[in-house]
Structure formats: structure tokens, C-alpha cells
Amino acid sequence: MTTPEDELREDIERTRKQLGETVEALAHKMDVPGRVKEKAHETTARMTAATDHAVEQLPEPVAVQIEKARRHPAAVAAVLGAIVMLLWILSRRSR
């Protein structure tokens, strides 16, 4: 048979546990930078998986070129920059 003192101790222990869980949940909510990093990691992983799946569906020659572009992102950025510059120059000449 439990005494009122034992019941009180159990109640105190249960309250401490609940309070600890509440503090942990609040600390997690207050850690905005950590949550942003977590979400960014999840999104990156999801997008990488989706990209890999999409590349698998492409014909072999196209998939090979995409894999080469993945290994050399600076070259791809340079080509895209050159295209944007060319389009900008052409649009300025047509005025």
C-alpha cells in the first residue's frame, strides 16, 4: 500500500519529468539557427535524391553530360554567366 508521502514523491517525479520535456521542447523551438540548418539539410537530401532519380530517367548521353557538369560546377556557372551577359548585351543593342 502506498502512503501519501510515496504518492507525493511520485507526483513530484512525474512533474519534474513533464517539466524537463517542456523545457526541451521550448529550447528546441528557440534554437532557430539549428532548426534552419536541420531543415536545409533535409531539403538538400530530398532535392539530391529527386535530382538523382530524374537523371536516372534521362537517356545515357544526356546523363553523362549532367554528371560531368556536376563535377565542374564552376565551369557551368561561367557558361551560364556568359550566356546571361550575351543576352544582356543583345537586349541593349536592340533598343
Q: What is the pLDDT of residues 2-54, one digit of tens each?
A: 788 999 999 999 999 999 999 999 998 898 898 899 999 999 999 989 988 88
Nearest alpha carbon to residue 67 among 85, 80, 54: 54
Q: What is the pLDDT of residues 60-92, one digit of tens each?
A: 888 888 888 888 888 888 888 999 999 999 988
Same domain for 72 and 33 = no
Euclidean distance between CA atoms 72 and 79, whole angstroms = 11
Same domain for 64 and 53 = no
Q: Is the pTM of this model over 0.75?
A: no
Same domain for 48 and 23 = yes
How would you class 76 by CB atoms within 10 Å of its CB: exposed for 0-12, middle for 13-18, buried for 19 or more?
middle
Coil, strand or helix: which one is 79?
helix
Same domain for 31 and 15 = yes
Same domain for 67 and 39 = no
Same domain for 49 and 66 = no
**Which domain range does residue 31 map to?**
1-57
Half-sphere CA count of 53, side-chain side, radius 13 A: 6
